[in-house]
Structure 1
Amino acid sequence: MYTNHANRAKHDIESSELRKKKRMKCLAYVAAFAVFQTAIILIFVLTIMKVRTPKFRVRSANLESSEVVTAANPSFNMSMTAQLGVKNANFGNYKFQGSTVDFLYGNTPVGQAVVPKTKAGWRSTKKLTVVVNLSSNALTAGNSQLENDINAGFLTLNSQSTLNGKVELLFIFKKKKSINMDCNLTIGLTDKTVREINCK
């Protein structure tokens, strides 16, 4: 009798310990799964759901025609085709309103291009081709800086613009984003080419 009772007690203790181990193992699995889910959610929030500011740049430009006067009253008239780019690194479209790009010599506007209302897709670059007529008519007659630049054989223009739009993450969340363009273009007057484009 005593032996049977001792064996039964031992069996009960072992069964209790086994159940306890199973419960602990189950809790460990649940905790590990919870940690995994939390990590996935954090990665999702910090990468996919993070709203990045798109970039607006002049990608390339070509002169279609160029007329430069180097006489007593220097001047220029040019036609330029430029490819603009709106680079969107978000996991959602960037829809923006129509705008304009101003081209300036010094602080004086010498040309303007129209940017249509459109969108840049998920993690892609929207390319836009515009034509702009550049003229020194708005500059003060006898501009000494223009005379020096023409004699040196190059002009430096600055392009400025602002796009207003919204980033639509996964077609659910919308976030307003305004982006600016600020690029310098160096135009060679001898070879009639856009030699360099630098954007901030």
Structure 2
Amino acid sequence: MATETATVGPYNAAAAAGKEDPTRPLAVASPTVHPEVTDGAGDEEVATTRRWRSMQYLRKRRCAIWCCGCCATTVVLLGIAALVLALTVFKVKDPVLTMNRVTLEGVDGDLGTERHPVSVNATLSADISIKNPNVASFRFARSETDFYYAGETVGVAYAPDGEVGADRTVRMNVTLDVLADRISPNVNATDLIFGQDYNLTSYTEITGRVNVLGIYKRDLDIKMNCSITLEVGAFTTVQSKSTNCVANVS
């Protein structure tokens, strides 16, 4: 039996030698592939970047919270200030209407008709004042004052429209001729010579508006009833002896 001799080439020889050498590695790394090299510098840079971004976020958030807090505080303070002003300085107060005095001028008495033996003519003048306690002006329309004697209307006086400045007082003089046919039946010659007290009543109504900075507005209706006592005698000018008034504002 013939023995076959295998021809061993250079490659096969190297492979055989590799198998026989247990310390030889199975594979050799390619010289073109390099493993990633990491060091502490890269990690520190990434950490620094993250910290910077976190600080920026916190700073923006803190600024936004501060701005919102300032806005909310400002709104609350403005609301409190507006409420305090509305309840104190800007609160619309009621004007005060006062009948200062009533005067009879040019009192004239003479013999009248058989039905009214004594005829009395006079001019009645009333001094009325309006006080405005508000911080804004009070504008009022044309007013009317009615005078009554013994339940009969003896005259009607009108006052023009006008304006009362802030915290000011305006006085108005209204004049009217007393209706002789209403008062004469209640007067006799003895009263004119020796003097007599006459009780008159009056009713005054004034409407107007108070406007504070165009924000606080209020329409006012002032009504005043007065009881007036006049002492008339000796055909002279007589002023009111006493005046009692009650005013109502709505």
Does the pair score TM above 0.5?
Answer: yes
Residues 68, 84 of structure 1: alpha-carbon distance in 2 compared, 3 angstrom cutoff: same
Question: Equivalents in 1 of 2:93, 2:147: separation in Å?
Answer: 27
Question: Equivalents in 2 of 1:42, 1:172: separation in Å?
Answer: 13
Which of 142, 147, 157 is residue 200 of structure 2 equivalent to? 157
**Cross-structure match for 1:44:** 85
Which amino acid is 2:207 matched to? N
Deviation, structure 1 residue 62 = 2.7
Q: Residue by residue, what CA displacement relative to the aligned partner does 1:80-106 show, whole Å, maximum 9, x if unpaired?
A: 222211111112111111121111113
The answer on 1:104 being equivalent to 2:148 is yes
**Cross-structure match for 1:131:** 175
The answer on 1:198 being equivalent to 2:244 is yes
Q: Equivalences for 1:1-200 in 2 at 5 Å? A: 38=80, 40-68=81-109, 73-138=117-182, 142-143=185-186, 150=191, 153-190=196-233, 192-200=238-246
**Cross-structure match for 1:16:** none
Which amino acid is 1:100 matched to? E
Higher strand share: 1
Question: Equivalents in 2 of 1:79, 1:69: separation in Å?
Answer: 16
Question: Equivalents in 1 of 2:126, 2:104: separation in Å?
Answer: 9
Structure 2 SS opposite 1:79: strand
Which amino acid is 1:99 matched to? S
The structure with the larger Rg is 2
State the number of aligned residues.
165
Q: CA RMSD in A?
A: 3.2
Unaligned runs of 5+ in 2: 1-72
Residues 99, 172 of structure 1: alpha-carbon distance in 2 compared, 3 angstrom cutoff: same
TM-score scaled by length of structure 1: 0.68
* Higher relative contact order, chain-length normalized (CA < 8 Å, sep 6+): 1
CA contact (8 A) 1:57 1:182 kept: no
Unaligned runs of 5+ in 1: 1-30
Question: Equivalents in 1 of 2:138, 2:182: separation in Å?
Answer: 35
TM-score scaled by length of structure 2: 0.56
Q: Which moved more, 1:58-67 or 1:108-117?
A: 58-67
Deviation, structure 1 residue 43 = 3.7
